[in-house]
């Protein structure tokens, strides 16, 4: 049976740049996944505003915290993630910042 070949993405691989005050590394894009998924890394400095208040209408967004702390304003609720935490922000207005 033939399938998609395995892919290993190293720490320096992927299209990288900056989006305002945060870094962006595109690890898997919608074209590569058939439109069902994308994975983006956002390295950021402490106390940086990663994203102003916004909403995604076509996709859900998840943030996995690798190091430090991340705060997410989700409507009227504030969620704070620490290393190993996954923050889910399905369809709600949100703002994201590092702690």
Domains and CATH numbers, the chain: 15-98 (2.60.120.10)
- The confidence score (pLDDT) of residue 48 equals 82
Asked if 98 and 48 count as a contact pair (C-beta separation under 8 A), the reply is yes
Q: What secondary structure, in 3-state letters, does the chain show?
A: CCCCCCCCCCCCCCEEEEECCEEEEEEECCCCCCCCCCEEECCCCCCCEEEEEECCCCCCCEEECCCCCEEEEECCEEEEECCCCEEECCCCCEEEEEC
- Whether this prediction's pTM lies above 0.85 is answered by no
Per-residue pLDDT of the chain (99 residues; tens, 9 = 90+): 577 778 899 989 999 999 888 888 988 888 887 777 788 888 888 888 877 777 777 777 788 899 999 888 877 888 889 999 988 766 555 566 676
């Amino acid at each position: 049976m033939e399938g998609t070949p395995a892919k290993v993405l190293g720490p320096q691989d992927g299209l990288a740049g900056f989006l305002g005050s945060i870094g962006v590394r595109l690890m898997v894009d919608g074209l590569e996944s058939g439109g069902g998924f994308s994975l983006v890394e956002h390295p950021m400095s402490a106390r940086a505003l990663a994203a102003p208040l916004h909403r995604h209408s076509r996709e859900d967004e998840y943030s996995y915290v690798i190091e430090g702390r991340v705060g997410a304003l989700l409507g009227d609720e504030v969620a704070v993630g620490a290393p190993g935490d996954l923050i889910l922000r399905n369809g709600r207005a949100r703002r994201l910042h590092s702690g």
